[in-house]
Structure 1
Amino acid sequence: MNQHILLKCSKCLLLCMCFSVIGIAQNIRVGFFEVNASPPIGSPVAYASTRSVTDSLSARGIVVLSADKPVVLCAVDWIGISNEGQDQWRQQLAAAAGTTIDRVSVHTLHQHDAPRCDFTIERIMEEYGLGGRSIDNAFTEEVIQRTSVAVKNGIKNASLVTAIGWGQAKVDSVASNRRLMDAEGNITTRWSSTTDAAMRAAPEGLIDPWLKCISFWNGNKPIALLTYYTTHPQSYYGSGDVTCEFVGIARNAIERQLRIPSIHFNGASGNITAGKYNDGSKPQRIVLARHVEEGMMKAWQSTKKYPLRNSSVTWKNMEVELPLGKNLIETDLRRRMVDTSLNIHEKFRAAEKLAWYQRSVAGHKVNISSLKLGKIWLLNIPGEAFVEYQLAAQRMRPKDIICTAAYEEYGPGYIGTRASYFQQGGYETSDIVSGVSPDVESVLLNAIRAVLK
């Protein structure tokens, strides 16, 4: 009799343990990771060589662990990561997280006094005797490796998530549309820094003024913050004084004040800058940072929390071929590479577009993705997309919260609207600045619609 009871109790205990293990495995957890991504002195950044590190750069993000395979979201304080650079980042972070590459999204914030990462471009530059002038492969590979280790550690230290929070606030006097149209329909450019009084006086134009703040919670304890805001982050640049710029300065300030790991993502900023509010002076960088910081704090203070369950967490992705711009002709791009009248930056631009041309001809596809967290959608799109794509995504799900992060696959460069290629013109769609055709609008909008279903 006692043996029978003991056996029965043992079976019950084993059954309870099994259910307990299943329950633990299906809990949602979030792990944070961060590494220093500042280049060494002398290493190339976008328009110069590093002469100082004014504000440290970072690669940081989260790993979302649920009943499905892990999802990795990463934001890097660099100008761009493209082509085989994107491949390396995503492959190594996927391996570190024990997931598949399609569930890894790596973005940059697009600071200009910051490095680039693209092994395809660098191979082309080396082919023409220009290796090491614009990209430091050894440095970028080392940052990828350290970030991979940080991802593994982030998973080990992941925290339980019971709720998701979101808030938003308007940012005052930062973003403005840089494409100004005159009465005749001609486009002029209001650059990231502008001293022209008439351009400063012109209206902001089409922007997305809202800064969104997403937070993960374990009971009453916040685990991590994600913020989303849309603008080119440049105040002044070009001398090699490395900085995470006003968006990174604001992010770091919020992280210190709240003592919560914070990750910032840049939205669809292809035609958005701070030009209306930025004269390029050094003090103005701090002014812009303060405005963004105030927006972040107000968004945080407006946070509302909602329970988060496994059934509410969904990852969707779609791989698409972005239509190659007809302006990219291989013979012309190679001619530019040997043109002695062109400087290193102009030759780099040709190598950049030659790399994208080669990848496109080879059938390379770009990943468009979203992470659904209840009624919150974290949308990931490539390149320097115009703000119109972000606003269109919001209209697709007007009752939900759509947070758009652009600057993932940086290979295509600017991604304008169909009208910007055909009717309007302007810098973003001129010469070899954009690597895609006007047909990109329908392709990208259809992909966004698919991952927001």
Structure 2
Amino acid sequence: MRPGFLLTVCTVVLSFFFCPASEAQELRLVTFQLDVTPPIGSPLCEGFIPPASKIDDPLSARGIIILGVEQPIVLCAVDFVGIGNGGYDAWKEALASAAETIPSRVAVHVLHQHDAPACDLSEAELLAPYGIESKAFDVPFLRDVLKRLKLTVKAALPSARPFTHLGTGQATVDRVASNRRILGEDGKVKIVRYSSTVDPEAIAAPEGVIDPQLKLLSFWNGDTPLVSITYYATHPQSHYGKGAVSADFVGLARAVRDRAEPKLFHMHFNGAGGNLAAGKYNNGSQEARIELTERLAAGMEQAWTSTTRVPVAANDIEWRVEPVTLPLREPLQNLTALEDMLKNDKAHLLERIRAAKDLAYAKRVLAKQTIELSSLRLGQAVILNLPGEIFVEYQLAAQKMRPDRFICTAGYGDCGPGYIGTAIAYSEGGYETSWVSRTAPESEEILLAAIARLLK
């Protein structure tokens, strides 16, 4: 054998084994979208409001798949009120299977509209023996969504397009978010400012702690924009609870951008808005919904026009995962009491549904099942994916940890934990931490440490 030929063969073989994959693979992007509007008669908000009697506007699941960096990475935003526990597992597994990746490289988040379905298959399984699962979930519809989701993603994979640049932009959103927890002089919650109010005192109170900035990430192929993803923290309710399915003002603002930039694929994520809502600026009227839509859409447009682009390569992209176990609130540690409430056919239906929600999450924690936080670094930008209805303070803390990064926070991942407050919030009272949080105050230390590791 000629020495030159042998040298060439050895060089090729060594290059195959030792050249970084990031240099060998082209970055590509896949987009997918699925209609997830429920049929008439389906429960909305897990049965806590009237079921669907009409469709005001459609619901969608929208996502992207990043190819060319180890295994594919999937980000998905869904117009549901919540996806949690076994339902969250099912969504991640369906997306991972279809995108040919693993569940730990998938992040699913809801936008938390209330005039929308929920998906918690663990809870539905607990309700089923008592014949009341259909009061909270349309399980056949949810199973069909998962089936169609897999087909949609598989069909989208061949349409992958290269991307070469990442864009970042931000804008201040005017008169949308306000803090729901108004404290009195004693340091306790004096007023809970819900998603809408006509109470003059609640309206007059300051906005409180919020993050007024809307962040925008965009993917480009040269000078051609492909995808725009926005992040903004607030509960997204205007008026709701009348049986009219709607993506509410966040979905309607996204639709405004769809029409304004029809060649762009638009996604929106709700930030860490567990203790935020539009209450200061929302009286629950149709006119208020229109105003909130216009203000949020204006922020999206301003963030888009302020966008700056930089080249991005595979070695600029890094996915990290931090599994955590969040300690249970004391009342949830008594599984017998929760099971007794679930079995009690004399109890109010919503009390039994609430017991099933608590029990589903408590069983997972006691079985040592973790919840995953994750981050996606894209050059100097970082997407931080957080679980539950998490308070805005966690989003603000992340930004303080890495002021040198452009941090976009998505809340409402696995919604099993419910509200996740700061440690002090549990002693302040209020709706979020006294009734619908399933985590203990010690969760703050665990979460902040996990976020710090993700951003390190």
TM-score between both structures, scaled by the size of structure 2:
0.93
Q: How does 1:327-366 map to 2 (within 5 A)?
A: 327-328=331-332, 329-339=334-344, 342-366=347-371
Asked if structure 1 preserves the Cα contact closer than 8 Å seen for 2:114 and 2:240, the reply is yes
Per-residue deviation, residues 195-238 of structure 1 (Å, max 9, x unmatched):
10111011000000000110000011111111000000011111
For 1:105, the aligned partner's letter is A
1:48 positional shift: 2.0
| Secondary structure of the structure 1 residue equivalent to 2:135 | coil
Pick from 357, 377, 382 the counterpart of residue 387 of structure 2. Answer: 382
1:45 positional shift: 1.1
Inter-partner Cα distance in structure 2 for 1:131 and 1:264: 30
Inter-partner Cα distance in structure 2 for 1:346 and 1:231: 27
- The aligned counterpart of 1:78 is 80
Inter-partner Cα distance in structure 1 for 2:399 and 2:22: 35
Pick from 234, 239, 249 the counterpart of residue 236 of structure 1. Answer: 239
| Greater displacement, 119-128 / 384-393 | 119-128
Pick from 266, 274, 287 the counterpart of residue 262 of structure 1. Answer: 266
Residue ranges of structure 1 left out of the alignment (5+ in a row): none
Inter-partner Cα distance in structure 1 for 2:70 and 2:281: 45
| Secondary structure of the structure 1 residue equivalent to 2:358 | helix
1:349 positional shift: 1.3
For 1:204, the aligned partner's letter is E
| Secondary structure of the structure 1 residue equivalent to 2:375 | strand
For 1:347, the aligned partner's letter is R
1:452 positional shift: 1.1
Inter-partner Cα distance in structure 2 for 1:299 and 1:341: 53
Pick from 438, 444, 451 the counterpart of residue 441 of structure 1. Answer: 444
Asked if structure 2 preserves the Cα contact closer than 8 Å seen for 1:168 and 1:299, the reply is yes
Inter-partner Cα distance in structure 1 for 2:312 and 2:337: 53
Per-residue deviation, residues 35-69 of structure 1 (Å, max 9, x unmatched):
00000111111122111111100011100112311
The change in CA–CA distance for 1:25 and 1:59 in structure 2 (over 3 A counts) is farther
For 1:436, the aligned partner's letter is T
Asked if structure 2 preserves the Cα contact closer than 8 Å seen for 1:60 and 1:76, the reply is yes
Q: Are 1:218 and 2:221 matched, yes or no?
A: yes
| Greater displacement, 339-348 / 219-228 | 339-348
The change in CA–CA distance for 1:24 and 1:153 in structure 2 (over 3 A counts) is farther
1:155 positional shift: 2.2
Inter-partner Cα distance in structure 2 for 1:372 and 1:292: 26
1:331 positional shift: 2.0
| Secondary structure of the structure 2 residue equivalent to 1:418 | coil
Inter-partner Cα distance in structure 1 for 2:238 and 2:348: 24
Asked if structure 1 preserves the Cα contact closer than 8 Å seen for 2:178 and 2:280, the reply is yes
Q: How does 1:49-448 map to 2 (within 5 A)?
A: 49-187=51-189, 188-259=191-262, 260-328=264-332, 329-339=334-344, 342-422=347-427, 424-431=428-435, 433-448=436-451
For 1:34, the aligned partner's letter is Q
1:159 positional shift: 1.1
Per-residue deviation, residues 65-88 of structure 1 (Å, max 9, x unmatched):
123110000000000001110111
Inter-partner Cα distance in structure 2 for 1:151 and 1:72: 10
Asked if structure 1 preserves the Cα contact closer than 8 Å seen for 2:22 and 2:69, the reply is no
| Secondary structure of the structure 2 residue equivalent to 1:410 | coil
Inter-partner Cα distance in structure 1 for 2:398 and 2:157: 31
1:23 positional shift: 8.3
For 2:69, the aligned partner's letter is A
Inter-partner Cα distance in structure 2 for 1:339 and 1:274: 37
Q: How many residues align?
A: 442
| Secondary structure of the structure 1 residue equivalent to 2:70 | coil
| Secondary structure of the structure 1 residue equivalent to 2:108 | strand
